[in-house]
A and B are shown apart, each in its own frame.
Chain A
Amino acid sequence: MTFIKTTYNRRSFLKVSASASGGLVLGFSWLASCNPTTEQLRLMPEEWFNINAFLKIGDNGLVTIMSPNPEIGQNVKTSMPMIVAEELDVIWKDVIVEQAGLDTKKYTRQLAGGSQSIRQGWQSLRMAGATARHMLLQAAAKQWNVPISELSTEGGIINHPSGKSAGYGEMASAAANQTVPEEVELKDPKDFKIIGTPTKNVDGPKIIKGEPLFGLDYQHEGMLIAMIEHPPAFGMKLKSVDDREARSMPGIKDVLTIDSLPEGTEKQWSDVNAFPQLVVVVGNTTWEVMKAKKALKIEWERVSEGESTLDYKEGLTKLLEKPAEEPARKDGDPDWAFKNAALVIEKTYTAPFLAHNTMEPMNFFANVTSDRAELVGPIQTPEYMSKTASKVLGLPEDKIAIMMTRMGGGFGRRLYGHFGIEAAVISQKINAPVKLIYTREDDMTQGTYRPAYKVKYRAALDENNKLIGFHVRGAGTNGSLVFANRFPAGTVDHYLAENYVLDSNISVGAWRAPRSNFIACAEQSFLDEVAEAAGKDPIDFRLELFDRAISNPVGEKNDYDPERYAGVLKLVKEKSQWGTSKPGVHRGVSAYYCHNSYVAQVLDVVVENNNPKVVKVWCAIDCGIVVNPEGARNQVEGGITDGIGHALYSAMTFEDGKPEQNNFNNYRLIRHGEAPLEIETFFVDNGIDPTGLGEPSLPPVAAAMANAFYQATGKRYYNQPFMYDESKMDLRNTI
């Protein structure tokens, strides 16, 4: 058992207990996600007692746990409450989960991004559960007049050796008035009952019924629909609009122009928006507004140069070739190593811009009146949205209420909440509640893309095939690529890492596993070639490098643990029976570290009709304690499928600043028949506090695939997407 100091002060608890009186309380009852199941409804208590910001207990023992972080499909709405329930020591079926709205006073870091929700919430969620349990025990000790140390709990019941026992529900009212303990005991992980038990998605039953859960489903009395037109190309802005025809169309209420980020607004990192000035059509229903949108006659004007795919490709190439500047990291004497090498291998890898393409397009509801704003919708960064909304609307933050809906995917796209600000500005201007909806085309051509990248690797081998020098120079549009202190830094005496950025007017943002999502593929494909040139097995080759990093690391800033890294490689080697061969099956391997987690994968392909096809992926992952193995496996499978799909098929390309893809007929995403047939996931059981899970399975898989393809076809894959021509297929109406 561990004791930890609680970081709560008494006041914050009292405030929470009296939560109904403080702040803006909104009527979010429409959110089916907040509603209990019919089964639970039957068991509803007559009275709830707020114990703390994370939970309340009903007089019959039913527990409501608040899920503070936005749910984008990473399953935190199930896994975060599981952590609270574990320390509270209740039975999971007695738990109802509710999504919390933004409340910076009650919760910290209500953000979905960087695979951090569990990692950062781990202590505070455990503390919330343990504190509540302690307060229940205090209440019972007082009532029974026994020392608290004699009490124990099990599944929502408090027991005393004398035979006295009471359900949490019976003690809830007294517990709510207990002093908040200054220190609480946390369970020993070996006693976990809920954490580590495969648990189904709490929203699963609602999803399969089609209940309203998502922002796009939000309804509000008197709500109008708004849609936008943004410039058709990067580097353009609005010049004039002729809205006469649109205005006269049925159901249309207004056509207006807005600026959601007026000149002089102090920007935060989340305020990425290439097109803050928009033409807006407002009307009664979506279809009417869509039709009126098409009837707008808009003139756009160029404000900066229109870039084409070839332009930035050339720009990135120039950066890779220009004289060296200050490196991101240098160990030893790389020049010497390359001059004296017996063999130098040099390869270059590229990747295109990618759109996020969440299945649910950008949308947000806003109801802004003279003194307050209600914002409801899919947002990964509600706290940042609140700050920008406050500045743009001219309202204090405590008059802005934000409710996060379940999100139809995030992948980083909804870190940048311009659409919520736009909805708010529209609502303020038209003085009515409004739901802003982006069409798929508006969404895909809006920008905020994964940057385009190019990276050059060089490796120097001595006459004994030992890696003596390693050089990586990466370049990205509006973003750097290389993590200078990640592997293989620390394993090579002479090491050089360089980062360059190409300015572009095409806007970029974080995309699932930023930078890692491409650099892992390049690095691990390159190492496959180096291992081959050195005549070594690709796993043994990597393990030798880790041995070096374990026994005698080069440099001090290496930001990975070589033992855990080697651990996942060894695990996947064993599980996949690496080294055995099956007729017609070709394999590749890859390993990567990001978001504090380690992943190694072996991938099998067969060749069907002259095309390589992924049949199976073995994935070993070390992400510390796995809270919910069921959800975790699903995340890993999704990350792998996502990584394979984008590396094979997806790209945004541009002509004169205009995106050449705008919907799923010309932007190719992986489909059913192209997914691996099987993914087997193995978690390393080491009892370490949880680390990232939503992203780390994605980065390495493209290299495992490229390396397997090489075994199958004899061809190396350097440029994503690997199946570019096929990616232009028109897949409309495929049923």
Chain B
Amino acid sequence: MSQFTIKINGESHQVDVAPDTPMLWVLRDHLKLVGTKYGCGIGACGACTIHVDGVATRSCLLPVSVVGEGAITTIEGLSAKQDHPIQLAWLEHDVSQCGYCQSGQIMNAASLLNQNPDPTDSEIDIAMNGNICRCGTYIRIKAAIKTATNNS
């Protein structure tokens, strides 16, 4: 076990965990931030997507020991009032079915817009390709990303 100080959603947190513990489980088990989801544990589904310095990262593959100074944002901290353009667009398009994949989809989409405020359809497809939605809400996700693009 080792002590780590990590910056999450603008606050500093101390955790005492094994260095190889993925951020996914640090968030879920130790900090009770359960919005970040477990889907595969191997970087193949995107359910666990968080931001490290604004960039979408699969938290299931990110050991706590390599986070260092990186500023982590989770779905809980994406916006103070749940009014990030992506979140609003998600509501407008009533995207969710079961909803389980959606925090990962939202975090991935928000990161896409950070880097590319006006993505084309194929840029959206490429950026979102790693995020599975088993319920098949892809069409609505794409529509919501476009709405968010226009509104941000």
Do these two chains interact?
yes
Interface residues, chain A, CB within 8 Å of chain B?
72-75, 200-201, 203-205, 207-214, 216-217, 219, 225, 250, 285-288, 290-291, 357-361, 406-411, 437, 439-440, 630-631, 634-635, 637-642, 645, 663-665, 669-673, 675-679, 731-735
Bound-complex Cα distance A592 to B29 (A): 46
CB of B33 to closest CB in A, whole Å: 8
* B101 close to A (CB within 8 Å): yes
Bound-complex Cα distance A676 to B139 (A): 7
Bound-complex Cα distance A664 to B45 (A): 7
- What sequence of 0s and 1s flags, for each residue 121-142 of chain B, a beta carbon within 8 Å of any chain A beta carbon? 1101111111111111111111
Interface residues, chain B, CB within 8 Å of chain A?
1, 17-18, 20-22, 25, 28-30, 32-47, 56, 58, 61, 74-76, 82, 87, 90-91, 94-103, 106, 108, 121-122, 124-142
Instruction: Please pick, from A200, A216, A638, A677, the residue contacting B34 in the complex, using a CB distance under 8 A.
Output: A216
Residue of chain A at shortest CB distance from B36: A210
Given contacts A75-B97, A288-B18, A631-B94, contact A208 B87 (CB under 8 A): yes
Centre residue among A200, A216, A408, A735 by max chain B CB count within 10 A: A735
User: Can you name 17 extra interface pairs (CB under 8 A) apart from A209-B76, A733-B58?
Assistant: A73-B97, A73-B98, A201-B99, A207-B103, A209-B75, A210-B33, A210-B36, A216-B37, A250-B1, A287-B20, A359-B37, A359-B45, A359-B133, A359-B134, A406-B98, A672-B128, A735-B130
Residue of chain A at shortest CB distance from B107: A210
**7 A-B contacts (beta carbon < 8 Å):** A204-B90, A208-B82, A210-B36, A216-B34, A440-B39, A637-B140, A731-B44
The answer to whether B139 touches A675, judged by C-beta atoms less than 8 angstroms apart, is: yes
The answer to whether A734 touches B106, judged by C-beta atoms less than 8 angstroms apart, is: no
Residue of chain A at shortest CB distance from B89: A208
Bound-complex Cα distance A53 to B91 (A): 30
Residue of chain B at shortest CB distance from A643: B136
CB of B115 to closest CB in A, whole Å: 11
Residue of chain A at shortest CB distance from B29: A285
CB of A277 to closest CB in B, whole Å: 24
The answer to whether B97 touches A634, judged by C-beta atoms less than 8 angstroms apart, is: yes
Q: Which 3 pairs between the two chains have the least Cβ-Cβ distance?
A: A210-B35, A73-B98, A408-B100
Residues from chain B with Cβ under 8 Å of A203 in the complex? 96, 99
Residue of chain B at shortest CB distance from A203: B99
Bound-complex Cα distance A201 to B135 (A): 15
The answer to whether A664 touches B44, judged by C-beta atoms less than 8 angstroms apart, is: yes
Given contacts A201-B96, A287-B22, A664-B45, contact A672 B138 (CB under 8 A): yes
The answer to whether B135 touches A208, judged by C-beta atoms less than 8 angstroms apart, is: no
Bound-complex Cα distance A631 to B45 (A): 24
The answer to whether A640 touches B90, judged by C-beta atoms less than 8 angstroms apart, is: no
Residues from chain A with Cβ under 8 Å of B124 in the complex? 672
The answer to whether B94 touches A204, judged by C-beta atoms less than 8 angstroms apart, is: yes
Residues from chain B with Cβ under 8 Å of A664 in the complex? 39-40, 42, 44-45, 132
The answer to whether B43 touches A732, judged by C-beta atoms less than 8 angstroms apart, is: yes
Residues from chain B with Cβ under 8 Å of A677 in the complex? 121, 139
The answer to whether B132 touches A634, judged by C-beta atoms less than 8 angstroms apart, is: no
Residue of chain B at shortest CB distance from A730: B44
The answer to whether B136 touches A408, judged by C-beta atoms less than 8 angstroms apart, is: no
Question: Interface majority SS on B: helix, strand, loop or mixed?
Answer: loop
Bound-complex Cα distance A349 to B74 (A): 46
The answer to whether B18 touches A287, judged by C-beta atoms less than 8 angstroms apart, is: yes
Given contacts A208-B87, A287-B21, A358-B134, contact A409 B98 (CB under 8 A): yes
The answer to whether A440 touches B29, judged by C-beta atoms less than 8 angstroms apart, is: no
Bound-complex Cα distance A359 to B106 (A): 15
Bound-complex Cα distance A685 to B42 (A): 46
CB of A15 to closest CB in B, whole Å: 33
Residues from chain B with Cβ under 8 Å of A678 in the complex? 139
Given contacts A359-B134, A672-B124, contact A440 B100 (CB under 8 A): no
The answer to whether B91 touches A208, judged by C-beta atoms less than 8 angstroms apart, is: yes
Given contacts A208-B90, A358-B134, A637-B140, contact A440 B41 (CB under 8 A): yes
Residues from chain A with Cβ under 8 Å of B95 in the complex? 204
The answer to whether A672 touches B125, judged by C-beta atoms less than 8 angstroms apart, is: yes
Residue of chain A at shortest CB distance from B45: A664
Residues from chain A with Cβ under 8 Å of B90 in the complex? 204, 207-208
The answer to whether B44 touches A360, judged by C-beta atoms less than 8 angstroms apart, is: no
CB of B106 to closest CB in A, whole Å: 6
The answer to whether A735 touches B100, judged by C-beta atoms less than 8 angstroms apart, is: no
Given contacts A361-B38, A638-B135, A664-B44, contact A409 B29 (CB under 8 A): no
The answer to whether A672 touches B141, judged by C-beta atoms less than 8 angstroms apart, is: yes
The answer to whether B29 touches A287, judged by C-beta atoms less than 8 angstroms apart, is: yes
Bound-complex Cα distance A734 to B104 (A): 14
Instruction: Please pick, from B30, B91, B135, the residue contacting A200 in the complex, using a CB distance under 8 A.
Output: B91
Given contacts A675-B138, A733-B130, contact A286 B28 (CB under 8 A): yes
The answer to whether B136 touches A360, judged by C-beta atoms less than 8 angstroms apart, is: no
Bound-complex Cα distance A290 to B40 (A): 13
Bound-complex Cα distance A360 to B41 (A): 12
The answer to whether A409 touches B134, judged by C-beta atoms less than 8 angstroms apart, is: yes
CB of A283 to closest CB in B, whole Å: 10
CB of B105 to closest CB in A, whole Å: 9
Given contacts A204-B94, A208-B87, A358-B134, contact A409 B58 (CB under 8 A): no
Residues from chain B with Cβ under 8 Å of A286 in the complex? 25, 28-29, 38
Bound-complex Cα distance A250 to B16 (A): 12
Bound-complex Cα distance A209 to B106 (A): 10
Residues from chain B with Cβ under 8 Å of A357 in the complex? 134
Bound-complex Cα distance A407 to B41 (A): 19
Residues from chain A with Cβ under 8 Å of B103 in the complex? 207-208, 210
Residues from chain B with Cβ under 8 Å of A642 in the complex? 134-136
Bound-complex Cα distance A733 to B30 (A): 25
The answer to whether B130 touches A72, judged by C-beta atoms less than 8 angstroms apart, is: no
Instruction: Please pick, from B37, B94, B136, the residue contacting A670 in the complex, using a CB distance under 8 A.
Output: B136
Centre residue among A216, A407, A734 by max chain B CB count within 10 A: A734
The answer to whether A72 touches B25, judged by C-beta atoms less than 8 angstroms apart, is: no
Bound-complex Cα distance A494 to B35 (A): 58
Given contacts A216-B38, A634-B97, contact A641 B138 (CB under 8 A): yes
